[in-house]
Structure 1
Amino acid sequence: MTWMDRISLFQPLDYVALAGVFVAWFGLTWVIEHANPKRPSVSHLMAQYRREWMAQMITRQPRVFDAQMISTLRQSTAFFASTSVIALGGTLALLGNSERLSTVVADLALTDLPTVAWEFKMLLPIIFLTDGFLKFVWSNRLFGYCSVLMAAVPNEVDDPRAPVLAHKAAEINITAARSFNRGLRSLYFALASLGWVIGPIMLGFTVVFTVVIVWRREFTSQSRRILLENGAL
């Protein structure tokens, strides 16, 4: 089967829905990370608290609490990286048993498509899972960099290098958190992309549902209101 034959297996609505997935994915990330300062996202608010954390670390003696916090963050990234690999392996295993997959999804979608069409649809969650895994691994490494910078901050409060190194540690911490959040969004969209198995309309519904959930958590959630109480840092 040539590429043209495979392309002809899908309707124009499939390509519209597929384009919508990536537009929503990139667009949501851009809106969250470039939010209006007058209406900041939870990610922006937490970035301010991370800077304050590193500033407070300079005078905290001993710094056992800070080390434990970084260790916890690294464990979280390692957990989600492992989860992404397991989910990726399961999805690839489904592709290895494509005949059974096509039988099951044909009953759900009520359509009769060849096996290659279902295999192509399963590539979408694989893309998101792979991206999520890479983001979590990079986040884990950045938190490792942050721990090294934190250890380099002098114990003497009056040392002029302390604020500079603490600021660097804060920015690396924020970058690691940004990568972690992007990985989480990739997992969200990996789940949403499974809607394509049923059809393009269901894919559109699951993507819109995912966007609404993430948007609410970043801009209208109770946790955001708590962070804004008495003014942000």
Structure 2
Amino acid sequence: MNAIALAASLFPLLALYLYQHAARIIDARRPSLSMLMNEQRFNWVTQATRRESPLDGILSGNIMSAVSFFASTTALLILALFTVIGQLPQFAPALSTVTFGFSYSVADLQVHNIVMLVLFVSAFLSFTLSLRQFNHFCILVGGLDHTRPSPPEEVRVIARINAKAAQSFNAGIRAYYFAIPMVAWYVSAWVALVVTVGTVGFLIHREYFSDARWLVAQITPH
């Protein structure tokens, strides 16, 4: 079994794990776009306590539809990977036509597809958890008593449930980003390593240095 091929297969998973932990450390010094949006979620719930309209239900429904779409798509990808893993000897000749500089064995392909399966299963679990948490959020918003001012602690708890749902959704989306170097692996293990590093750089830029982050920071105290 090719050691570099194995390292390139596992590197995206390791990078995803390390990024998630490093982001918590960076957020303490420079809030990410996701952290800044959590403040806006608090504002959303605050406004929801003051109005009796279907607006909040419509917004929540739109968000849950997007999460549900990703969960369903991920389930199909998992089934497709199961199919490919079971028929790798037949697929190997076709896959070898796109490989540059490496000759992967069937064992290399099996390990890589199993790692991809782990990645997409983690994404699926994140999306389904996000759906469940957004469902809790909808119930809590629906249970607001508009005849009296809501206690700040109640508003904070509902906003935190929304933020946790968004965090779970983002975890699933990040798994999709790191699936890109997994696909690049079929071209070359070295390409997969480079694309993994590029993916980390892209995520860091998007969360901490993008125009969207700068704009939201203008209206969010931090």
TM-score over 0.5 (shorter chain):
yes
1:177-219 deviation per Cα after TM superposition (whole angstroms, max 9, x unaligned): 0000000001111232122223321220121121122111111
Moved more, 139-148 or 216-225: 216-225
- The equivalent residue for 1:63 is 53
- Residue 125 of structure 1: which of 116, 122, 130 is its match? 116
Matched, 1:225 2:214: yes
- The equivalent residue for 2:178 is 189
CA contact (8 A) 2:92 2:106 kept: yes
- The equivalent residue for 2:77 is 87
Matched, 1:166 2:155: yes
Residue 68 of structure 2 aligns with an amino acid whose one-letter code is A
Matched, 1:179 2:168: yes
- The equivalent residue for 2:135 is 144
Distance 1:97 1:23, change over 3 A: closer
1:87-134 deviation per Cα after TM superposition (whole angstroms, max 9, x unaligned): 222222222331332112222225444323212211122111111011
What count of residue pairs does the alignment treat as equivalent?
221
* Displacement after TM superposition at 1:38 (Å): 4.4
Moved more, 101-110 or 62-71: 101-110
For 1:20 and 1:114, how far apart are their aligned partners in 2? 19
- The equivalent residue for 1:4 is none
Question: 1:154 is paired with a residue of what secondary structure?
Answer: coil
- Residue 199 of structure 2: which of 194, 210, 219 is its match? 210
Distance 1:43 1:232, change over 3 A: same
For 2:201 and 2:127, how far apart are their aligned partners in 1? 23
CA contact (8 A) 2:68 2:131 kept: yes
Question: 2:97 is paired with a residue of what secondary structure?
Answer: helix
Structure having greater relative contact order (Cα 8 Å, sep ≥ 6): 2
RMSD, aligned CA: 2.0
CA contact (8 A) 1:121 1:197 kept: no
* Displacement after TM superposition at 1:79 (Å): 0.5
For 1:34 and 1:74, how far apart are their aligned partners in 2? 29
For 1:113 and 1:155, how far apart are their aligned partners in 2? 63
* Displacement after TM superposition at 1:18 (Å): 4.2
Alignment of 1:66-77 (within 5 A): 66-77=56-67
For 2:15 and 2:104, how far apart are their aligned partners in 1? 27
Distance 1:231 1:112, change over 3 A: closer
Q: Unpaired runs of 5+ in structure 2? A: none
For 2:155 and 2:219, how far apart are their aligned partners in 1? 26
For 2:23 and 2:104, how far apart are their aligned partners in 1? 38
CA contact (8 A) 1:189 1:210 kept: yes
Q: TM-score, normalised by structure 1?
A: 0.86
* Displacement after TM superposition at 1:142 (Å): 0.4
Alignment of 1:18-29 (within 5 A): 18-29=9-20
Q: TM-score, normalised by structure 2?
A: 0.90
Distance 1:72 1:33, change over 3 A: farther
Q: Percent identity?
A: 22
Q: Unpaired runs of 5+ in structure 1? A: 1-8
Task: Say which one has the larger Rg.
Answer: 1
For 1:76 and 1:32, how far apart are their aligned partners in 2? 24
